[in-house]
Amino acid sequence: MKTIPQEKKVRDSQKTRVAILDAAETVFAQSGFAGARIEVIAKTSGYNIGLIFRYFGDKLGLYTEVLKRSDLEISGVLSGIFTPLLLDETVASDDHQFRTLLETIIRTFFDYLLAHPHLVRILTWEMADGWQMFAKIAGQFPSENSEQFEAFFQKTWRAGLLRSDYAPKIQFSLVMQICHVYLAYLPLNQMLLSGEESLVKAREYLVNFIIAGIMRKSE
């Protein structure tokens, strides 16, 4: 009897998980959590329902892993920008460097959502449903990055770069919300603007709008 190498088993397992998560992301985006059916996810992925339950437990477990995958990707991208700058103490006290950092973070987050329309739709379903499902799984998402961001922004506040009424947790949340809502409205915005405003110009407007709410005016 031929034995399958452990390495191949791991690769096959990872390939199966990715295929199921991709299918689930598509179906959750189309129908929301309540409307999504495991049998549809199974058919879309090409794997049977029993295997999906074996890998993810139940529909909520699968939904959680879809969102955790996106959260991990976003955190990885932002950390790649943010972490090296923590080694440079001047960023937290230099007006120009700090603004450049904020611009990069916001643009990166906007571009990530733009490149992941399924995530935008899933978040829109959540918003329409009062975030009920997300409330059940919120504790499973790591908070290390937000704490790291908050500590950094406390330094910039002490350096006088932030508005006196700046609230880190509110502002972090607003960055996500503003980018998400704009992109959720993207088809309507494109109809209304009809070529008057490019997507890049709209993104830069949002960047400047958000930064105006974070940074104090330069002397």
CATH of the domain at 7: 1.10.10.60
> Are residues 187 and 82 part of one domain?
yes
Dihedrals phi, psi of 35, to nearest 5 degrees:
-85, -15
| Number of folded domains that form the chain | 2
The distance of Cα 163 from the centroid of its chain, to the nearest Å, equals: 26
State which amino acid sits at residue 132.
Q
Q: Would you say 41 and 27 are in contact if contact means Cβ atoms under 8 Å apart?
A: yes
Euclidean distance between CA atoms 50 and 139, whole angstroms: 27
Alpha carbon 78 to chain centroid, angstroms: 10
Q: Confirm whether 9 is domain-assigned.
A: yes
Shared-domain flag, residues 154 and 133: yes
Residue 197 lies in a domain: yes
Note whether residue 218 is domain-resident: no
* 62: in domain: no
Angstrom distance (rounded) from CA 148 to CA 83:
9
Does any domain span residue 94? yes
Same domain, residue pair 167 and 110: yes
Is residue 84 located within the same domain as residue 28? no
Helix (H, G, I), strand (E, B) or coil at 162: strand
CA distance 105 to 85: 12
Span 45-95, pLDDT tens digits: 999 999 999 999 999 999 999 999 999 999 888 888 877 776 777 888 889
pTM listed for this prediction: 0.86
The reported pLDDT for the residue numbered 219 is 53
Cα distance between residue 139 and residue 149, in whole Å: 19
Give CA–CA dist 35/28, Å, rounded: 8
Residues 73, 44 within the same domain? no
79 falls within a domain: yes
CATH code of the domain containing 166: 1.10.357
Look up the domain containing 30 and give its range: 1-57
Tokens of 112: 């990530």
Q: Looking at the structure, tell me whether residues 32 and 132 fall in a common domain.
A: no
The full DSSP string for 131-148 is THHHHHHGGGS--HHHHH
Looking at the fold, whether 52 and 78 belong to one and the same domain comes out as no
Q: Is residue 170 included in any domain, yes or no?
A: yes
Check residue 194 and give its pLDDT.
64
Same domain for 161 and 76, yes or no, is yes
Is residue 217 one of the residues assigned to a domain?
Answer: no
One domain, residues 71 and 35: no
Same domain, 194 and 140: yes
Mean pLDDT of residues grouped by 10 in the chain (219 residues)?
54 88 98 96 95 95 96 87 75 88 91 95 96 93 70 84 80 87 87 72 91 80
Residue 173 has a pLDDT of 82
Are 87 and 22 found together in one domain?
no
Note the pLDDT of residue 81.
80
Tokens 């504790």 belong to 139
72 and 40 together in one domain: no
**In this structure, are residues 101 and 153 in contact, taking their beta carbons and an 8 Å threshold?**
no
36: Cβ–Cβ under 8 A, 6 or more apart, which residues?
24, 27, 28, 30, 59, 63
214: its two tokens: 């974070």
Which pLDDT score is estimated for 22? 97
